[in-house]
Amino acid sequence: MHGVIPPEPGQGQGKLLAALAETWPRYADAAAAGRGRVAGNRSQPIPRPLLASGQFALDALSIGVPGLLARDLVGQGEVPTGGVLLFGIGLALLVLAVAGGYRHAALFGGRRPLLASAGGLAGSILGLALAARLVGAPGALPLSAAGLWLGFALPLLLAGRVASARLVRAEAPRTALRAVVVGEGPQAARLAAMANSRQPGPVRLLGVVDDRRRLPDAPHAESGLPHLGPFEVLQALIRRGEVDQVILALPWAAEARVSALVHRLADYPVEVCLAPDLCSYRVRHASPYLKLLHRPLDGWRGLAKRAEDILLAVGALAVAAVPMLLIALAVRLDSPGPVLFRQRRTGFNNRDFYVLKFRTMYTDQTDHEARVQVSEGDPRVTPVGAILRRTSLDELPQLLNVLWGEMSFVGPRPHAPGTRAAGRPFEEVAERYAARHRVKPGLTGLAQVRGWRGPTETEEKLLRRVEADLEYIETWSLWLDAVIILRTLVAVARMRNAY
């Protein structure tokens, strides 16, 4: 298809199908034959917050430098103060942000983002000058200075926007959202045609998934997109971090099928959209998709969360460095064996990682798979280990997991694969257990401060824990994290439910 960013031949195809062959034997032939084309994702995608931050910095320079130049060119006595200039720059950037100038689609350019940028800048500068006259302080931003400022800043801002949009479009394989279409037929064909008319654009279609065709095959005759296979292929791609968006190209009349797909995708860290009915593609400037599920902690929220994790982890390590050295010495003197204990846990997007803890059990009795949960008075626990577990000090090394980006300071607690509730695997007890992995696991979480920590002898304890974790994901805020951290300190001081 002309204009649609094509998949790079062979990239990702072999390794993906090989992985599928290990999990689902029916894919072995396709893996060996090399059939099925998956869009190449060898290049690491550029995070959307980084793109928006770059555009924000460029806009700030495009507005700020002309302001300083205008102040130098106007006559004495009509020079706006530095504080007014800073306020004007901040106001203009705020208006641009509110107008959607830093949304992902706006970074790819177009007439509407340019008009919004021009209107926002003009309204901010002229509005500020008019406000100064109305409050009786016309010297704060004289009309002559405002006119010069706008005259210099407007072309510079628009030129910067055009140049950055060209750069973003040129790097579309790394800057566009990676999307997979679910469904075939006329709906998928119209969707592909619409995407073709807007390329290079903010969405890159990788291919089509449809359970009615079990194995990857030739490109779909109507849409021209590669057919990736059944729904299991989409699951594998999401787990590999190669899909940002899933588009359901199904008629709205197929309510049962849409509902079932949304239910299956609700446990994945991916955005889910519904493509409109066929006639909606004829509307030129209409939003092409209806969002059904949002990716949690995406965009600026994810950037704020990561900044919070780094600041808290660095601060905590600075305070706990000496106590951690003393604890390490106590563990080494208490019983032979390593100081640290590494245990496999399930983290973000169902990916396994190794969590670090101070060793609290005798070396020959450690349980790496957590087959038997620790109980009060457990003979496997060393004397020093009992104190560490009771005070939760054994978890201090997990601050390193936070710095490495494997964990967050606050989030659902990671569980070891194979842990059970009342003798049953967690995944069997809680239907939406996997949805906890839509965000990074945390040192503490909402479930822990509500008392749902420690062993899960009953299914009820696990269900309440999962409910609290999902509530945290849906209602996350920096304020909520602060409240959880404070309540965690209180809970640790009381040493409840820790063995």
pLDDT level of residue 323 (50, 70, 90 thresholds): very high
pLDDT of residue 370: 61
Higher pLDDT, 363 or 32: 363
pLDDT of residue 468: 93
Q: Above 60 in pLDDT, residue 429?
A: yes
pLDDT level of residue 446 (50, 70, 90 thresholds): very high
Q: Are 468 and 445 in contact (CB under 8 A)?
A: yes
* Percent of the chain scoring above 90 in pLDDT: 35
- By CB atoms closer than 10 A (0-12, 13-18, 19+), residue 355 is buried
State the average pLDDT over residues 392-414: 93
pLDDT of residue 6: 37
pLDDT of residue 79: 57
Pseudo-torsion of CA 293, 295, 297, 299, nearest 10°? -110
- By CB atoms closer than 10 A (0-12, 13-18, 19+), residue 352 is exposed
pLDDT of residue 277: 64
Strand partners, 342: 356
Helix, strand, coil % over all residues of the chain, rounded to 5: 55, 10, 35
User: Mean pLDDT of all residues in the chain?
Assistant: 81
pLDDT of residue 59: 95
pLDDT of residue 192: 78
Q: Are 225 and 207 in contact (CB under 8 A)?
A: yes
Q: How far apart are CA 451 and CA 465, in angstroms?
A: 9
Q: How far apart are CA 484 and CA 456, in angstroms?
A: 21
pLDDT of residue 213: 60
pLDDT of residue 223: 57
pTM (predicted TM-score) = 0.77
Query: Between the ranges 148-152, 195-199, 283-287, where is the mean pLDDT highest?
Result: 148-152
State the average pLDDT over residues 455-473: 87
Q: Above 70 in pLDDT, residue 284?
A: no
Token match 């072995």: residue?
Answer: 28
Q: Above 50 in pLDDT, residue 299?
A: yes
pLDDT of residue 15: 44
Q: Above 60 in pLDDT, residue 278?
A: no
Q: Are 233 and 227 in contact (CB under 8 A)?
A: no
Radius of gyration of the chain (CA): 28
Quick: pLDDT tens for 326-368. 999 999 998 888 999 898 898 998 888 999 999 988 887 776 6
State the average pLDDT over residues 104-130: 91
Domains of the chain: 48-170 (no CATH), 176-293 (3.40.50.720), 300-494 (no CATH)
Query: Between the ranges 7-11, 108-112, 209-213, where is the mean pLDDT highest?
Result: 108-112
Q: How far apart are CA 399 and CA 139, in angstroms?
A: 53
pLDDT of residue 426: 83
Q: Which of 38-47, 302-311, 457-466 has the lowest mean pLDDT?
A: 38-47
pLDDT of residue 23: 43
Q: Above 80 in pLDDT, residue 222?
A: no
Q: Which of 172-181, 212-221, 466-475 has the lowest mean pLDDT?
A: 212-221
State the average pLDDT over residues 68-92: 76
pLDDT level of residue 434 (50, 70, 90 thresholds): confident
Query: Between the ranges 33-42, 158-167, 224-233, 461-470, where is the mean pLDDT highest?
Result: 158-167
State the average pLDDT over residues 370-380: 71
